[in-house]
């Protein structure tokens, strides 16, 4: 982590009237570094990390406009099929975990459904699926697979879903992008059935990779507005959810896919050089599926039938 200057170390009490931590409500926070030109802060009380101020809506819209173009030649059907198969293998692993806790079939909402690969995996297992997405490319490709009636274009604020409609809600690589965490929680509680299940995959700011790499950690991006650790994710869920599992997330990737992402988004020369190397591998090596942990955590929680304190949950690590 970048060492803060003495001025950056000053606890920011002046913002207490306009800013409160969305997890614990405390107004005290410290600047601990920068993500590109955006100041990175941490809540003094619960250690939630966040960008403050956040990027403007115009800046974020520019990022998301081409967000799913990191993989080159996306318009080629063969490439789309390779990426989709890779991602679905990851998502079937997530669904295996949900099934371990007794969830088979039912209605599923994927918030931030991207290009629809989680929904494809879930539909194969008998779920009735819906998605929400803001990226134009993600909306286009998801609607090609599921139709406009199943893919909402826009935010949760303007959806027309009935209350308590979904048995499962998915936040896979999404929570860190949400600007209003309190609002997101309210939406989830409104849309989820009693005893429904929530699955979250998000970067873990307490992971070994983050501690070793500091502000060079690849998950520090301007579109990632909040950075959780295991303690802060538990606090965000408490009172309304029983935490069932909190563990390292494992994803299936290919070297060529990693290379394309590093070339597109690598913030440092070594990352981009590594990306070029991976991208140049022959297909028999570059398209091999590899299970990796990338400094993220996977969380599964069940909605409590009554308000529940953190002390009643049974987390597994």
pLDDT digits (tens, 9 = 90+) for 137-166: 899 999 999 999 999 999 999 899 999 999
Question: pLDDT at position 3, please?
Answer: 37
Q: At 54, give phi and psi (nearest 5°).
A: -75, 155
Question: pLDDT at position 12, please?
Answer: 46
By DSSP bridging, strand 127-133 and strand 151-153 are parallel
Distance CA 90, CA 173 (A): 12
Confidence of residue 75 (pLDDT cuts 50, 70, 90): low
- 10 pLDDT exceeds 50? no
| pLDDT top residue among 127 and 11 | 127
Question: pLDDT at position 243, please?
Answer: 96
When the pLDDT of each residue in the chain is averaged and rounded to a whole number, the result is: 85
Q: What is the pTM of this model?
A: 0.86
State the average pLDDT over residues 3-24.
53
The answer to whether the beta carbons of residues 217 and 261 sit under 8 Å apart is no
Distance CA 156, CA 62 (A): 20
Judge if the upstream peptide bond of residue 53 is cis by omega within 30 degrees of 0: yes
Question: pLDDT at position 278, please?
Answer: 63
Question: pLDDT at position 79, please?
Answer: 73
Q: Cβ neighbours of residue 157 under 8 Å, at least 6 residues apart?
A: 183, 187
Question: pLDDT at position 309, please?
Answer: 44
- 283 pLDDT exceeds 70? yes
């Amino acid at each position: 982590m970048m060492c803060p200057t003495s001025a950056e170390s000053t606890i920011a009490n002046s913002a207490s009237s306009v800013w409160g931590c969305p997890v614990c409500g405390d107004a005290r926070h410290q600047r601990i570094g920068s993500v590109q030109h955006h100041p990175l802060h941490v809540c003094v009380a619960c250690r939630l990390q966040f960008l403050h101020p956040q990027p403007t809506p115009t800046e974020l819209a520019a990022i998301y406009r081409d967000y799913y173009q990191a993989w080159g030649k996306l318009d080629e059907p063969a490439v789309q099929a390779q990426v989709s198969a890779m991602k679905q293998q990851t998502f079937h692993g997530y669904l295996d975990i949900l099934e371990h806790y007794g969830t088979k079939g039912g209605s599923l909402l994927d918030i931030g459904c991207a290009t629809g690969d989680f929904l494809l995996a879930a539909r194969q297992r008998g779920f009735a699926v819906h998605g929400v997405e803001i990226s134009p490319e993600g909306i286009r490709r998801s609607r090609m697979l599921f139709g406009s009636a199943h893919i909402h274009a826009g935010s949760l604020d303007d959806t027309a879903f009935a209350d308590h409609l979904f048995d499962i809600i998915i936040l896979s690589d999404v929570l860190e992008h949400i600007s209003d965490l309190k609002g997101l929680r309210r939406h989830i509680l409104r849309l989820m059935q009693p005893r429904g299940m929530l699955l979250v995959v998000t970067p873990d700011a307490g992971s070994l990779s983050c501690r070793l790499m500091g502000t060079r950690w690849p998950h520090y991006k301007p579109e990632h507005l909040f950075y959780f650790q295991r303690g802060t994710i538990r606090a965000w869920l408490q009172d309304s959810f029983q935490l069932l599992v909190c563990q390292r997330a494992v994803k299936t990737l290919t070297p060529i896919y990693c290379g394309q992402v590093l070339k597109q988004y690598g913030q440092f020369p070594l990352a981009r050089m590594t990306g070029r190397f991976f991208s140049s591998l022959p297909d028999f090596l570059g398209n091999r599926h590899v299970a990796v942990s990338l400094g993220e955590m996977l969380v599964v929680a069940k909605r409590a039938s009554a308000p529940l304190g953190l002390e009643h949950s049974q987390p597994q690590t």
